[in-house]
Chain A
Amino acid sequence: MTSSPKVRPYHAPKWSEPVIAELGRRGERGIAVPEVEQEIRNKVGKASGLVLAKMLRGGPPMLPELSQPQVLRHYLRLSQMTLGMDLNIDFSEGTCTMKYSPRVNEELARALADVHPLQDERTIQGILEIVYKFGHVFLREVSGMDEFSFQPGGGSEAVFVNACIMRKFHELRGELAQRNEIITTIFSHPCDAAVPATAGFKVITLYPDEDTGMPSTEALKAALSKRTAGVMITNPEDTGIFNPDIDEWTTMVHEAGGLCSYDQANANAIMGVTRAREAGFDMCFFNLHKTFGSPHGSDGPACGAVCVTKDLAEFLPVPVVTRAGRKYHLDYDRPNSIGKVRDFMGNVPVVLRAYSWAMSMGAEGMREAAGVSAINSSYLEKKVLGIRGVTKPYSTKWRVDQIRWSLEKMNRETGVSVVDVNRRVVDYGIQSYFLSHHPWVVPDPFTPEPCETYSKADIDYWVAVLEKISEEAYSDPELIKGAPHSSSVARMDETALDDPARWAMTWRAYMRKKGAQEEGRQSEARQ
């Protein structure tokens, strides 16, 4: 193995930027509002005369008052103190598929900025064609499913659509009252538990085989009954383990009278390799902001693209984009539709970006992206296995897109936990790790996902940083526990976040509580 690259020194931008409420001077303004013509004023009179007096605002909202250059400067500084994927080797955020979002797609999406979703169909044929083709050409091949909806504004909302489809399906068969259980696994995304619960289902969570980490077919068998509405699961799971019996699972669920929903959050390394259709699923969804290259946007805007079999197409939310000859339509006339989960036709610019990404890749390119992601992950594994204090839980050798690692050994031997390491990694200009959702079945977990975006040099550098931190943990654990040292901000008193007396979600709450604390201190001093 080649020796590790040298870790370069780093310091995050640190502006010590005040909260915006502390900036500016009374009377400053950042933008002038369009003029109201004199003729309009003459005709309608003063604005205050157009509203009942009781409905008029008394005092102005206490918004900041800044001129334009100062507003721009403030938010540019805040942007600089945000370690976006474009600036770093960002595969620490596993399960998130931090792939490159091509800039050309941002340019293309601008064409939709001033399109209203209720425009006459004749004026939006271009975008309807893109939406239709992204489903019926691309997702049809990737998933093997038949019909599509782009309504959900994220992966979790796509799970919600799938849960609503299950409800409607069982309702029409007169079995809704009886079939009120959804089965998921602990290594599926927590939304596969939380969302069906919101939709009114009871949730049963399966745990894996303790040795292999494989989802347990025995556990599924035991959970299935006439109360089963369906399963909602990820594959490969967040451990990177692919359930090889997945087709047997879907058969068992179908035999029990349930439906199968596939959370494809971890689809990046299996595009064109294995599909929902052949695994026997009735529906699935893809996160277009992960797998299909639309930007993550600091946590959205996003799109969870729902794919279903022909049999479930009648339940899709409205409107569905359909084609008749060369014309595209928005079909609202679907009597068994679950109705709406989001206003209008969904997050169309995200679909546009995904279409453009897919057109850039083609069949070979997507398969290459998947294959390189799997290769990158296996290569990373070889390197990480040699790092002191790191272990790979579960005996299943081959993992697909990522591995859930553990720092339990390091923690036991040095007292440095994964949470400490997670603050320290930031000191090297690497985005903090995604650890694991809760509960932590794997102790001191972290889950890097080196998708196709990252070069061999990137992976080697990331590993060198982890090696360095491991050395630090064994030689100078206090250094890590006190981290971060080169971040934009020092270690927080995180207990304040959960304390009703000190938490503050707004500046006004902060000022009130600060005032109360100071008053308290003063009165203590007086006593």
Chain B
Amino acid sequence: MASDKRVHPYIPNSVPEVKAELLNEIGVKDADELYSHMIPDRLRLKRPMDLPSPLPSESDLRRHVEGLLAKNSTCKENISFLGAGCWQHYVPAVCDEIARRAEFLSAYSGEYYSDLGRFQAFFEFQSMIGELVDMEVACLSTYDWSAAAANAVRMTSRLTGRREVLVAGSVSPSRLSTIRNFAGLPGMPVHIDIKTVGFDSLTGMVDLGDLSRKLSSNTAGVYFENPSYLGVIESQGDEISAAAHKAGAEVVVGVDPISLGVLAPPTEYGADIVCGEVQPLGVHMNCGGGLAGFIASRDEERYVAEYPTHLISIAPTRREGEHGFGYCRFDRTSYVARERAKDWVGTATAMWTIVAANYLALMGPQGMKEVGEAILQKSHYAAQILAELEGLKILFPQFFKEFVINFDATGKSVPAVNKALLKKGIFGGKDLTGEYPGLGASSLYCVTEVHSKDDIDRLAHALSEVLR
């Protein structure tokens, strides 16, 4: 066969003879003539695009892209203590196997009868999230925890007909910004007012006095997290919920689900709606591309009606004992209701729900308990030995996985410390200085089950050198 550079391996009909057959059937001489019937001349680009020379050979392409990626270094090649909304947990090899399955990877919006496996996996994800958070309804995922929280905030407004939501001040500034974007701008006729509630400077927990001052008959919902962005376990959930319910507001709690093998589910302290992040459940960090949010609630029609996302329900089939799966109340979604929909649903992160289902099935109740315990013990070990270093102070004592270290007494800034740690192959914690000026020179450290005692001891040793 003569080699023809115009034939690209991804485009079968780029073979000139085949293309000529198609053009002959259509009755035009080439693609340009076809376009001339469709798109006015003045709107057509009259020159080739100015792009780099292509690399149609897979080998050449790999060499090029791998060359660029080699400029990165990873949390595997270093020791990382970064968390702050994206966390390094162990990803079982079976999760990677499932994530790479071509059937799942290349599927999209097929229907119930062609994609049974995908729908069943979604249902199992919802079922296992339901067990973790102790709710009977959980949705297919949305973009990330922040989008899930923002959707939940809007749900409370529709449920109550009120237009003010109180958000714990310890929520991450990034999440707060997303929530505010979903709530709308104050200059618009229709929007939700987002007000923050302060947190106690000693415990990091919600300032109940500030909460009660701000709660009113205008309050649609109260949103807080467990653990919070700052790692704090909010143990006043029952009091927050009682106050919110007394005002007629809905309670929304955001959770990190990997904590729920050891921490109480939010239903035990009054949550009406639970949301959170899927990524810790078997999904790699992927430079932030591993995020996926979920929402859960009681199985009441008024809640179900307000979900913007897909909800997959189980249903009987014509064969006795066989299960099918499909969309519950599809007409609520933006695919049907357009501007009258509950927010919107779109392509988001469904693949990660399949991986998370796989993860939770591997872990089981015992695995989730043990991983939660390991995270508690290892993160507290890290906090304890770091607190023994001169000048370091752990700000909030009740935490899970992440904790705030204050460097004020060392005279060093967090960026300076992190720069020095980086030279030693350690990614220090997230710098909180810009986000929470009130916390001084503080940094958010994350320790999970993947950190060994040796990793943590190396951090302590490196910090003692850096701070000397």
Contact = CB atoms under 8 A, between A and B. Distances in A.
Given A116-B88, A508-B136, A342 B178 contact: yes
Nearest to B337: A194
A78 B260 CA distance: 27
A458 B18 CA distance: 13
Contacts of A493: 315-318, 324
B440 interface: no
B289 A78 contact: no
A359 to B, nearest CB: 5
Interface in B109-166: 109-118, 120-121, 123-124, 126-132, 134-141, 143-147, 154
Contact of A157 (B98, B106, B175, B346): B346
A426 B111 contact: yes
A44 B381 CA distance: 6
Interface residues of A, number: 218
A356 to B, nearest CB: 5
A505 interface: yes
Interface residues of B, number: 217
A256 B311 CA distance: 41
B364 A65 contact: yes
A51 B358 CA distance: 28
A13 B94 CA distance: 22
B427 interface: yes
Given A78-B117, A79-B103, A360-B56, A16 B322 contact: yes
B92 interface: yes
A496 B113 CA distance: 16
B288 A347 contact: yes
B75 A116 contact: yes
What are the 5 tightest A-B residue pairs by CB atom distance, in nearest-first order? A362-B54, A156-B346, A30-B362, A371-B31, A194-B334
Interface string B425-455: 0010010000000000000000001101100
Best-surrounded residue of A1, A17, A297, A369 (most CB of chain B within 10 A): A297
B334 A347 contact: no
Interface stretch (B186-194, B213-221, B406-414): B186-194
B188 A176 contact: yes
A81 B137 contact: no
Contact of B10 (A102, A116, A382): A102
A297 B264 CA distance: 33
A200 B362 contact: no
Contacts of A218: none
B339 A194 contact: yes
Interface in A462-476: none
Best-surrounded residue of A34, A104, A160, A164 (most CB of chain B within 10 A): A34
Interface string B34-47: 11011110111100
Interface stretch (B19-27, B244-252, B460-468): B19-27
Interface stretch (A207-215, A403-411, A432-440, A518-526): A432-440
B82 to A, nearest CB: 4
Interface in B264-305: 264-265, 268, 284-292, 299, 301, 304
Best-surrounded residue of A58, A137, A344 (most CB of chain B within 10 A): A344
Given A50-B380, A57-B260, A82-B117, A342 B313 contact: no
